[in-house]
Structure 1
Amino acid sequence: MNPDVASIRKTHARTGGPNPHGASEFADLAKIVKTAGLMRRRYGYYWTKLLCVPLVFAIAILCFVWIGDTWWQMFTAVGFAVLFTQTAFLGHDAAHRQIFRSGRWNDWISLIVGDLFIGMSYGWWQHKHVRHHANPNRIGADPDIDLPVVAFTPDQANRPRPPLLRWLIAHQGAFFFPILLLEGLSLHASSVHRVFQRRHVDRRPVEIAFLAVRILGFLALVFLVLAPEKAAVFLAVELGLFGFYMGMAFAPNHKGMPLVPASVELDFLRRQVLMSRNIRGNRFIDVLMGGLNYQIEHHLFPSMPRPHLRRAAPLIRAFCLDHTVTYTETSLWHSYGIVLRYINRVGLGERDPFECPLVAARASIGPPVT
């Protein structure tokens, strides 16, 4: 049995609730991290990236126009997909207040980078992502485990659905990564839908204007340069690979980690560490995943600048080891295997062989801890 399973069971059996020492433990960890200077802003790093974004976009657009109406532009579509995803990672950093001390400055960078350069609503993404960070893998609270086309719990898999969708859910392990090819289109559509809803949206006119310039402007550029059939394929390649890249970067972080029943409360340290998975690797992996490979560090300290995550990882790993809190880390390819096996089991209706590690003497569903 994984060490965290036994320790948390004992804690809940003894106290009937979260670890009473959890708050003080996290305070001790936060002091270690702050003393090491890991919450210090990295203005040089981020200003370099912020200045490079419009420059690289301008170069990419000029190259696209210069290459002209040819099928070779499909390679350009790949480049745009990578560029959009890497820029989205920068917007993610700004939304988490990693760049500036000023919340207002971070908000505007998020709006400019997210809405104007990527075509994703900052307001929509923030509303969704804040709920995820507050309750990662918590049933009924984390929007990232409540999706219309993928089931993460047996209850979700058993919901009444049309026959075709029920069949897809039953075989979702085979379709999970192909479905990611639609994620780019979904992100744009969800963003547009959000800013036109009646519910409150901060800076709605700005978001609508930025999204219109980005989405309509990019469509106009593609169809002006390319013949209609080439333009359609170009957009399919760019949107498909953008969504696939985004999905491949976010999927390993929590999928296949323990699920938290709605009735269970955990201290902040365990709530973030036990539900998150780090991806082992070198600096290339850091760049490839935009720092999301340090998911444990990011969830514990969301406003920690991305360059400090690598330095923070050994400190936090050692702290978790000293406090018998399981720190999960694996390779990128192994993490994808875990995700596929887990969602395939759920889709096939198999009860997970591990009891949820967060509850003693209570029947719960949860994926195995790796």
Structure 2
Amino acid sequence: MPDDALQLLLAGALALVLVQVAFLSHDSAHRQIFHSAARNDWTARVLAGCIAGMSVTWWRNKHSRHHAAPNQVDKDPDVQLDAIAFTPYAVAKRGRLGRWIAARQGWLFFPLLTLEGIGLHSSSVRHLLRRDANRLDRIEAAVVMSRIAGYVAALYLLLPMGKASAFLGLQLAVFGVCLGAAFAPNHKGMPLVPAGMKLDFLRRQVLMSRNIRGGTLTDFALGGLNYQIEHHLFPSMPRPTLRQVQPIVREYCALHGVAYTEVGLFASYRIVVDYLNNVGLKARDPFQCPLAAELRSASGRDLA
């Protein structure tokens, strides 16, 4: 095998390893691995900061808000992105070029994920270098920035500039696509919750989440996030247990008339692309769907 091809193959392999490290950091941050909360927290810090080069503090803050209110337009940071519009209102605020892009953002979504690796590192550093950072944040900032700088320096010391740049670019692109492709099917294209709407815990977590069918390979490739409904109901439950409780959760949802969504992986990607392409088009109300009717019904019961 030519040396150039081998270097790129190694870059892709490293990206896949770092994706699994990120999944393990996610599990540890949710305190799924050890009985000790402190041991979980420090494991998450080491995996994220020292190995993956990301801030677990930044991620936990963002991810906790997502778990508290998935797909709620005024609370979930995952539906408040600048690059992607999730509501007709977000599209309407854009200029002509922005609306043109929004009409095609479903097709652009996966290519944009090639930049997700850079975005994760950048967001981590910005969060850790903020003015009100505490002592622990400053220590984490030193660790994360040392890891990023050391990795880049090692590449350019060991490889010619062109090969080092290609290695770094491919590694970041594969990392971003694989990580983003694992998170994308979970909530995108599911109903959005209007600002201020109150829901009970079961409906809030189940109706806005989507499971992905598959076997052991799917479980590994998606880091257990394919059991998104179970994960949102029991965020500290260890990843291997989610498959075991799935039949119980599905039966409970059926008993209480709560829609339980599960599709294949590629079907989920088609749903995501179609949804993103049609946000703001055809004057479509994102809440006009069977699940939204259930949301309204649940909300009415809560307010009654």
Range into which the TM-score falls when normalised by the shorter chain: over 0.9
Report the secondary structure of 1:290's partner residue: coil
Asked if 2 retains the 8 angstrom alpha-carbon contact of 1:112 and 1:210, the reply is no
- Counterpart in 2 of 1:319? 252
Instruction: Note the C-alpha offset of 1:160.
Output: 3.3
Instruction: Note the C-alpha offset of 1:185.
Output: 0.5
* Residue 309, structure 1, aligned to residue 246, structure 2: no
* Residue 153, structure 1, aligned to residue 90, structure 2: no
* Residue 123, structure 1, aligned to residue 57, structure 2: yes
- Counterpart in 1 of 2:214? 281
- Counterpart in 1 of 2:169? 236
Q: 1:202 to 1:292 in 2, by over 3 A?
A: farther
The unaligned stretches of length 5 or more in structure 1 are 1-66, 363-370
Superposition TM-score, scaled by structure 1 size:
0.76
Q: Among residues 148, 160, 166, which one is paired with 1:215 in the alignment?
A: 148
Matched residues in 2 for 1:113 and 1:137: separation? 28
Q: Deviations over 1:159-199 (max 9, x none)?
A: 134x5434322211221111111100000000011100013
More displaced 10-residue stretch of structure 1: 199-208 or 176-185 = 199-208
Matched residues in 2 for 1:93 and 1:206: separation? 22
* Residue 111, structure 1, aligned to residue 10, structure 2: no
Report the secondary structure of 1:334's partner residue: helix
- The structure with higher relative contact order (CA 8 Å, sep 6+) is 1
Asked if 2 retains the 8 angstrom alpha-carbon contact of 1:345 and 1:352, the reply is no
- Counterpart in 2 of 1:333? 266
Q: One-letter code of the match for 2:70?
A: P
Report the secondary structure of 2:296's partner residue: coil
Q: CA RMSD in A?
A: 1.9
Asked if 1 retains the 8 angstrom alpha-carbon contact of 2:129 and 2:138, the reply is no
- Counterpart in 1 of 2:32? 98
Instruction: Note the C-alpha offset of 1:201.
Output: 4.7
Matched residues in 1 for 2:283 and 2:173: separation? 31
- Counterpart in 2 of 1:291? 224
More displaced 10-residue stretch of structure 1: 351-360 or 176-185 = 351-360
Matched residues in 2 for 1:273 and 1:339: separation? 18
Asked if 2 retains the 8 angstrom alpha-carbon contact of 1:70 and 1:226, the reply is no
Q: One-letter code of the match for 1:86?
A: Q
Instruction: Note the C-alpha offset of 1:350.
Output: 3.8
Q: 1:228 to 1:164 in 2, by over 3 A?
A: farther
- Counterpart in 1 of 2:125? 192
Matched residues in 2 for 1:283 and 1:202: separation? 41
- Counterpart in 2 of 1:359? 296
Instruction: Note the C-alpha offset of 1:347.
Output: 5.1
Matched residues in 1 for 2:184 and 2:78: separation? 10
- Counterpart in 2 of 1:133? 67
Matched residues in 2 for 1:232 and 1:109: separation? 31
* Residue 260, structure 1, aligned to residue 197, structure 2: no
Q: Deviations over 1:231-267 (max 9, x none)?
A: 1111110001100001100000000111111121011
Instruction: Note the C-alpha offset of 1:348.
Output: 3.6
Instruction: Note the C-alpha offset of 1:68.
Output: 11
Instruction: Note the C-alpha offset of 1:200.
Output: 3.9
Aligned residues: 294
More displaced 10-residue stretch of structure 1: 326-335 or 216-225 = 216-225
The unaligned stretches of length 5 or more in structure 2 are 300-304
Asked if 1 retains the 8 angstrom alpha-carbon contact of 2:114 and 2:174, the reply is yes
Q: 1:191 to 1:137 in 2, by over 3 A?
A: same
- Counterpart in 2 of 1:249? 182
Superposition TM-score, scaled by structure 2 size:
0.92
Matched residues in 1 for 2:46 and 2:134: separation? 16
Matched residues in 2 for 1:105 and 1:349: separation? 51
